[in-house]
Homo-oligomer: A and B are copies of this chain.
Amino acid sequence: MAANKEIEEGIGFSPKFDAHGLITAIAQDAETGQILMVAYMNAKALDLTIKTGNAVYFSRSRQKLWKKGEESGHVQKVEQILVDCDQDCLVLKVSVDQGQCHVGYQSCFYRAVKHEKGVELEFIAEKVYDPNEAYKKK
């Protein structure tokens, strides 16, 4: 198969990392289908995720591996990893407990754009935990 066709139609897993060595990973609740968060993985994070069965990301702000839940306790058990046609994006189907967003919501996507002017947001969810409790200063 030609290279492109192989990537799109083949069974070889060839994740395409960007110039920073990262690939986008979307965590989706395996049960409800809710999109919980979007993060990034380097090759090491992806490898650890596959091997341990728990989501490991690469934190761009802290520039280090980030075992999801290492501070908050809100880990993600990975049920399935999907890859898209050009293999530059992953979907992780995850089992989770309450509260995947550091702001206190179940999902990072707790606001929607209001109306067609597109300047204001409305909240579409309630907080499910108190982040001040979960991220206690050590």
B113 touching A84, Cβ below 8 Å: no
**A75 adjacent to chain B (CB < 8 Å):** no
**Interface size range on A against B:** 35 or more
| Interface residue A102 (Cβ < 8 Å from any Cβ of B) | yes
Q: State in angstroms the CA–CA spacing of A100 and B33 once bound together.
A: 18
Task: Pick from B38, B85, B120: contact of A24, CB below 8 A.
Answer: B38
A112 at the interface (CB under 8 A from B): yes
Q: Would A82 and B112 count as touching, CB distance under 8 A?
A: yes
> Taking beta carbons and an 8 Å cutoff, which residues of A are in contact with B?
8-13, 24, 26, 28, 32-35, 37-38, 46-47, 50-51, 53, 80-85, 89, 91, 101-103, 105, 108-114, 116-124
